[in-house]
Structure 1
């Protein structure tokens, strides 16, 4: 399930269980506390994924700037870095699935792989 806020970009991913939830922070940096094991697994997975996503956001900002400056060699090198990040995330997702095959979060990781599939 996704929790969103009207007129704001982004959402918070939740695995709904018959457990207690406490949600704070922001859509950009949510804090989801739950007594449920599925949500705890998702939180751990998302924690690592946020690091990759932060790096990708930074690369996209540099890419947009290079595009505005018409710097073709820089845009090409940034595209290569972005593709490398995709590979890193695919490896992270694959390893997560391998190590946690019974986790509901493994289904999310598998879905992410298919979204990035060429």
Structure 2
């Protein structure tokens, strides 16, 4: 099963659910090309958000929000790197759903409790 997690600037972030594993891809439907997102720690993961503005850069970023820490992946530099300021854990642990949207150079978060 394939699930669309996020879209931005003509790219789509997808998750392919296979038995015992999940693989993540960034797809460009216009060119029919895709890139496999490098392996990430899915424990305590709450959401992934794709950030891409083709008018500013040919590279995209993916932000992973987790209960204990956040990470960011850049298609330019490749490895996942930990970010310093996570969301406060009491907020994330009580939410049912968190969704990020990249707009005008920033990610905006919608929370449902």
* TM score, norm. by length of structure 1: 0.30
- Max Rg structure: 1
TM-score normalised by length of structure 2: 0.31
Greater fraction helix: 1
Task: Give the number of the structure whose residues are more often strand, by fraction.
Answer: 2
